[in-house]
Amino acid sequence: MIQLYHVTMRYPSGIEALREVNLRLHEGEFVFVAGRSGAGKTTLMKLMGAELTPTSGQILVAGRNLGVLKRSQVPYFRRGLGAVWQDFRLLPDRTVTENVAMPLEVLGLSRRKIALRVGQVLELVGMEQYADAQALWLSGGEQQRVAIARALVNEPSIILADEPTGNLDPDLSYEIIQMLRDVQSRGTTVVIATHDTALLELFNERVVLLNKGFVIEDEGGEPAVLAPEPEVTP
């Protein structure tokens, strides 16, 4: 579960990227965060990933109160999240397998366990036949599938995808979102930020619409519940 209570994010420049945002996402839910460029989508994703600290308000992610998360706890917290970006962020000179294995290597798992798990997720995204290919030579759609495999390899409870289809043409965009739908159907919470309204129409899913930092619509969501200060330990 992800919850935001009265979250405001003001950058040092004075710009208020989010204003009094209240939001509740259930475990295993699939949600689009929509809005024009500049609406605050990326800021919201970064707050949920503990990459930014809000100016005011409270954020709970998977039972953790991010406001009291110590800096030293952030890497551990992030292991429970998988991130997917618009520009894929693969290491171009490494193979598909090496890219996907990376989050597991920092955990110090055995070679055999890593190979097994990497094989599983590559199969899941239909990229097993590219296991030894260098990431540099893959098409955009293929790179994003590998990036999704990398995001999944840790078995995160939440996937945060910021404009994952921003560099892809419409057919591939559909395919990538469908793939993330499949991920969600196996129990993972999936949050996708997109400015692509055509995509929203293709998928009949909950849409949290941002405009100038405000949530102006939350179709399919419960009304934002303003809970009392939650007592959650980090």
For residue 207, list its beta bridge partners: 32, 219
Residue 153 or 210: which CB sits closer to Mg ion?
210
Footprint of ligand ADP (CB under 6 A): 11, 13, 15, 17, 35, 37-43
Residue 96 or 176: which CB sits closer to Mg ion?
176
CB of 37 to Mg ion, least distance (A): 7
Contact by Cβ (8 Å): 209, 217: yes
CB of 85 to ligand ADP, least distance (A): 12
Residue 14 or 228: which CB sits closer to ligand ADP?
14
- Chain position carrying tokens 């190979």: 115
152 contact choice in Mg ion, ligand ADP, none (CB below 5 to 8 Å, kind-dependent): none
Q: From residue 208, give the alpha-carbon distance in Å to each of 35, 58, 110, 223.
A: 8, 18, 41, 11
Residue count of the chain, please give it: 234
CB of 43 to ligand ADP, least distance (A): 3
11 contact choice in ligand ADP, Mg ion, none (CB below 5 to 8 Å, kind-dependent): ligand ADP
* DSSP single-letter state for residue 224: P
Residue 35 or 156: which CB sits closer to ligand ADP?
35
For residues 42 and 62, what is the distance between their CA atoms, to the nearest angstrom?
Answer: 20
Residue 29 or 196: which CB sits closer to Mg ion?
196
Which of these, 46, 54, 91, 70, lies nearest to 191 by C-alpha position? 46
Retrieve residue 66's tokens. 């991010």
CB of 88 to ligand ADP, least distance (A): 17
For residues 125 and 218, what is the distance between their CA atoms, to the nearest angstrom?
Answer: 30
For residues 15 and 166, what is the distance between their CA atoms, to the nearest angstrom?
Answer: 24
Which of these, 64, 51, 82, lies nearest to 158 by C-alpha position? 82
CB of 132 to Mg ion, least distance (A): 34
CB of 49 to Mg ion, least distance (A): 13
Q: Which of 7, 25, 29, 42 binds Mg ion (CB under 5 A)?
A: 42
Select the residue whose beta carbon is closest to Mg ion and give its number. Answer: 42
Residue 124 or 180: which CB sits closer to Mg ion?
180
Where does this chain bind Mg ion (CB under 5 A)?
41-42
